[in-house]
A = this chain, B = another copy of it.
Amino acid sequence: MSFSIRDMAQKARMASRQLAKLSAQQKNAVLHSIADNLVSMSEQILTANQQDLAAGKEAGLTDAMLDRLALNEKSLANIAEAVRKIAAQDDPIGSIRDIRRMPSGIDVGKMRIPLGVIAMIYESRPNVTIDAAALCFKAGNAVVLRGGKEALHSNLALAECIHQALSTHGVNANAVVVIPDPDRAIMNELLTLNQFIDLVIPRGGEGLIRFVSENSRIPVIQHFKGVCHLYVDKDADEVKALGLLTNGKTQRTGVCNALETLLVHKDIAPSFLPMAAAMFNERKVRVHACEKSMGYFHEAEPATDDDWDTEYLALEIAVRVVEDYAQAIEHLEAHSSGHTEVIATQDYSTAQRFIRDVNSAVVMANASSRFSDGGELGLGAEIGISTSKLHAYGPMGVESLTTEKFVVLGDGHIRQ
């Protein structure tokens, strides 16, 4: 396949100028057409997906990988529904806030505008192609999509749905570019094109994210891992705390907002840890325990230094008894991944203090870490989670794909 990635990125940049000027109605009409096409064109999408699945089986992909890759009528309908929900969200573009009159007499405010062009680099899930395209488009951005090679045929078929919808509504097809070759050299070239692309969002394993971060000349939103902590304070309500622990660790395990470490104040450990141990036993949660907590568990392994930084993504947890609040904070400062930390306490002052002391992207008092996602936090659909502090921190919704410019209104005002 012969094409120039530079050329594609430049065309996306050109298309972004039209996108920035589309009204909310125009953008939502395109999104509804994409949703319609996902259903009406399902036959050709599923045929392409079968091609990917067959090639994947031949290449020896694991069942889990094939599962992530697979599409069917129902999953397409779900993806279409997600696109309709994005259409139904508020349009962030064009709103002006905080117009103030300055001493010089000029009026100054800030207007929300698109970033321009966003590159998404992701692995095998083909639904990301539609999700990412729809969210970037909603925010008025062009998008360059580079999916995994296992999903290439599926992604190209999904791109066809998008391109037909763009064309139906007279929008430049380069608003959504799917790179037709997932070669790594091409990705490397993509990462140098900072004159055309404003932001790169990698979604996938730590290796992919590290590679993109280290090789990109374009700003990157990073999400390495979620090592979420629950600290059970001496003044915790033990029943509530057990609920948070059970929900955080076992409701879903393969997600970044699951709990990975439990810290327990030494004063409450003798009553709380037996309850925790019974729950772990019942739910078959493997425990890596510190010396002081070891005795409470039927069969726990001794926690190693590595355990405090491990994202298990499984029915597995590290447990540590701490001397006091200060030691809990010290532990978090040393081991937090910047994702989500929770305190369970009934003490007003301790809760207030924790909320201020802990600067992870999401900090909670008496709520499950599982609430740490875009939908639950009220952002609507989520494009990713940032654990770096620049631009966006925590779950990212449509607004994270925008920026603000200053707007100045004068009447011939000049500077003295």
Residues in A lying within 8 Å of B, measured CB to CB: 17, 20-21, 94, 100, 102, 104, 106, 108, 111, 113-116, 198-199, 213-214, 217, 219, 237, 239-240, 243-244, 246-247, 251, 333, 351, 355-357, 359-368, 370-372, 376-378, 388-391, 393-395, 403-415
Contacts and interface: CB of A to CB of B under 8 A. Distances in A.
A390 B391 contact: yes
3 closest cross-chain pairs (CB), A and B: A367-B410, A240-B412, A247-B414
A393 B405 contact: yes
A198 to B, nearest CB: 5
A4 B247 CA distance: 45
A366 B356 CA distance: 44
A405 B213 contact: no
Contacts of A390: 115, 198-199, 219, 390-391, 403
A413 B376 CA distance: 12
A217 B219 CA distance: 10
Given A17-B333, A370-B415, A371-B415, A405 B363 contact: yes
Contacts of A243: 412, 414
Given A214-B217, A251-B415, A413-B366, A395 B406 contact: yes
B389 A403 contact: yes
Nearest to A21: B357
A102 B410 CA distance: 41
B365 A408 contact: yes
Contacts of A114: 359
Contact of A406 (B17, B351, B362, B413): B362
Nearest to A413: B367
Given A370-B415, A377-B406, A391 B391 contact: yes
Contact of A414 (B199, B219, B359, B368): B368
Contacts of A21: 356-357
A247 B244 CA distance: 62
A364 B240 contact: no
> Which of A214, A243, A371, A409 has the largest count of B CB atoms less than 10 A from its CB?
A371
Given A390-B198, A413-B367, A355 B407 contact: yes
Contacts of A415: 247, 251, 368, 370-371, 376
Given A359-B113, A362-B406, A413 B368 contact: yes
A359 to B, nearest CB: 5
Given A367-B106, A390-B115, A359 B409 contact: no
Given A366-B413, A414-B244, A415-B376, A371 B408 contact: yes
Contacts of A247: 414-415
A289 B292 CA distance: 80
Given A100-B378, A244-B412, 5 more contacts: A115-B390, A247-B415, A366-B412, A372-B406, A390-B391
Nearest to A16: B359
A409 B366 contact: yes
B115 A389 contact: yes
A108 B367 CA distance: 11
19 contacts: A111-B356, A115-B390, A116-B359, A198-B389, A198-B390, A213-B217, A219-B219, A219-B388, A237-B412, A246-B414, A363-B406, A364-B409, A367-B408, A368-B414, A371-B410, A377-B406, A377-B408, A390-B391, A394-B405
A409 to B, nearest CB: 5
Nearest to A333: B17
A389 to B, nearest CB: 4
A413 B369 CA distance: 10
A356 B94 contact: yes
A378 B406 CA distance: 11
Nearest to A365: B409
